[in-house]
Structure 1
């Protein structure tokens, strides 16, 4: 089914065709017609499913076709949990709206407030924002929502995990009651549903694609058992011996990221990191270098990696296993994009056992285990207990 059959007009279809979009993904096929119909939507979709286009494209269509965007005011607000994701979504908007007379802006913390205020004063139709920075601007009366028609809450589960619930309600209280609401989340947890109950209408449409216990078929998952104190040496060995061209490496804490960069550097491997402790300018530069291929190995916390969007990324590594288990699905979804082959490697020590049980219970099967020659495991990782739930 071509995009034109979903109700998108030629300017949008032409723009996405130039980006290599040939046919819509499952989330796009389901979500775009619902959004174009004006209904509220609550969608469960993993990273790598094309969810950003699934809400941006119909918003652009509605805004340019119904003739309501005649002012310089904000008509669509997209809330994102991190700076990187906000910047990535706005970059997508610019690409998709190439042939439209619509303006967009991303606002987030870690950058100077004044240029954002000046840009808002010039007029913005689609605003992408992190909650904290949006409230800062609202308190300074730098933006108003009198003409707002659309609210999108992206990655709602992560938004709640990061403690933004109070900020979200403060923002929602400032918005017109008459609006179309779109909520996207990797998982529709009980907390997400509570948020939705206070946000969307009673006749909301709920859809789910790539269910949380299903991973992208072409992603090869590998589990390598290793003692905790030899993880960095094993990672260096894999990079060198298997001639890895590039990898996104996940750790749980920002101090772990800095330590791993140092450990790899001592073995002649150049890596860099993004985490909340680095300036936004530095994070932007590191991301740019990684996307261009100039930087081969990026080490990131799960939260900081939101917004890392690289279609050709062939490999992700879980240096630390994540919790909750759904975050594992989110992480590995950053490879194997658009049906391409991808590899997800997890380095697992005995300390990771509880997280491993939760992940394999979510998957519904055990991941095949490997042990690398030269790295004998002294502390054996037990076989997972399926149907395990970590408290």
Structure 2
């Protein structure tokens, strides 16, 4: 895979341009194996974990194929997902992949106006991404016709099985033409999923399995900061000014992102340079030499450019942009915490990326803790302490004799305490590398709730949603991902709604079982 890139995978030029614009230079394992097979027209069963780049693995070849076909009207591809949140994530990814083509993508899920969805479908759409319940509703209303689709994708099929959607899926699949191309992606392959493939997929279906690698991140303290995209630069500067790392790699998703961040940081006075594939070999070698010799404090890089970096004393890795998959995340942060030293990894995460952080936690079996961004007061206190230490050190060295005549002159006209304060203000202002705002930078992120009921209590997503909505008068769009396990459940909820659900629903009965709800301490 080291020598492979997207240009070798026979994708349409418009899709390749979009992938380059997204900043992805090298395909992940599932992408490298799936894309050529899908482009050849084969049915695919792919077993791969969430967070490995699956959306691009099926999205890129589907859009590429649609670009190369005729422009007939009507839905040409259907993608089924277990949750509204995943449907929206996939829609956003497909929208980015369609940047240079005319492919139209529509998300379809419950909790939104079905009349608006009907209108959007009538106006013309190429790809529909939706949850089984709402897709089936459209089929029954005859507002979504699947008789002419070329592609059917089942993403996270095992999760749809766990959520009780298997019968809906079979009904939907029966409404599609036999000659379509079908792709099934699933982390596990339980018997009902195998039967689904047996009954509805071609005999010569291609099987792809991405083996789970041991992705360990020992000796690395992992934290994330929740920020809005527009506040990332100030957040980064606050972190650096408080932590004062001597050597740190900062990762950006795109080459353009590297150039823009380097320029912004240099304008603030940081000792920083960038590294990416468009730079000459000599440029990269010289930059790396400076970084290894510690004459350069900060290196901003893309994933591919950073591959050859082997530096022992990197104290911090900062993900200015989070990577596309867990494996890339582990490769990034593994550059700190080497040679039996502890390292620190920080990620700047926008609200829509919180689910990606949870996926990385799940795959790496590690905890990425949310941390509060340093406040203006925290940084000022740090700067004051540093300045006092520097002044104390200079007094101890007694190397200030040549400045004594100047002090005597100032003493004749001013109080020495005022002179000292003015000099400290000058030094302090020079040391401040960033003009901070007093705005609260933290973005609102979902709260994770723990519920004391699970699959063994005969609950599913539908019954749980009904219980929460009816008991707490909560709207469906306020509820995020739901993870139902055997004996308990995790639910993501907007922070301003969490307390209401706890107060209204905790202690009430669902399926004759008392439900206790609290803020989840950690996700097991």
> Do these two structures clear the TM 0.5 threshold for a shared fold by scoring above it?
yes
Q: Within the alignment, does 1:279 sit opposite 2:278 as a pair?
A: no
> CA 1:219–1:96 in structure 2 vs 1: closer, same or farther (change >3 Å)?
farther
1:71-82 residue pairs with structure 2 within 5 A?
Answer: 71-82=72-83
**CA distance in structure 2 between the partners assigned to 1:305 and 1:64 by the alignment:** 40
1:138-187 Cα offsets, whole Å, 9 max, x none, are 11111112221111000000000000111011111111111111000011
**CA distance in structure 2 between the partners assigned to 1:83 and 1:28 by the alignment:** 24
Say if 1:41 and 1:204, in contact at 8 Å, map to a contact too: yes
1:228-256 Cα offsets, whole Å, 9 max, x none, are xxxxxxxxxx867999x898775553999
Q: Within the alignment, does 1:95 sit opposite 2:96 as a pair?
A: yes
Q: Within the alignment, does 1:63 sit opposite 2:66 as a pair?
A: yes
**CA distance in structure 2 between the partners assigned to 1:52 and 1:154 by the alignment:** 8
Say if 1:87 and 1:307, in contact at 8 Å, map to a contact too: no
- Higher helix fraction (1 or 2): 2
> CA 1:91–1:219 in structure 2 vs 1: closer, same or farther (change >3 Å)?
farther
Q: Within the alignment, does 1:123 sit opposite 2:124 as a pair?
A: yes
Say if 1:85 and 1:307, in contact at 8 Å, map to a contact too: no
Give ranges in structure 1 of 5+ residues lacking alignment: 223-237, 257-274, 288-299, 309-344, 349-355, 357-391
> CA 1:147–1:305 in structure 2 vs 1: closer, same or farther (change >3 Å)?
farther
1:179-224 Cα offsets, whole Å, 9 max, x none, are 111000011222221221122111111111143xx453448799xx
1:86-136 Cα offsets, whole Å, 9 max, x none, are 111111111100101111101000111100000001111111111110111
Counterpart of 2:180?
Answer: 179
Counterpart of 1:204?
Answer: 205
* Local SS of the residue matching 1:99: coil
**CA distance in structure 1 between the partners assigned to 2:12 and 2:46 by the alignment:** 24
Say if 2:147 and 2:175, in contact at 8 Å, map to a contact too: no
Shift of 1:2: 1.5
Task: Choose the corresponding residue for 2:451, options 245, 253, 264.
Answer: 253
Shift of 1:56: 0.3
Q: Within the alignment, does 1:170 sit opposite 2:156 as a pair?
A: no
Counterpart of 1:104?
Answer: 105
Tell me the TM-score normalised to structure 1 length: 0.60
Shift of 1:20: 1.2
Report how many aligned residue pairs link the two structures.
260
Shift of 1:18: 1.3
Q: Which has the larger radius of gyration?
A: 2
> CA 1:347–1:73 in structure 2 vs 1: closer, same or farther (change >3 Å)?
closer
1:1-391 residue pairs with structure 2 within 5 A?
Answer: 1-65=4-68, 67-68=69-70, 70-211=71-212, 214-218=213-217, 251-253=449-451, 277=469, 278-283=474-479, 301-302=482-483, 347=522
Counterpart of 1:329?
Answer: none
Instruction: Tell me: higher relative CO, structure 1 or 2? Use CA pairs within 8 A at least 6 residues apart.
Output: 1
**CA distance in structure 2 between the partners assigned to 1:307 and 1:347 by the alignment:** 13
Tell me the TM-score normalised to structure 2 length: 0.45
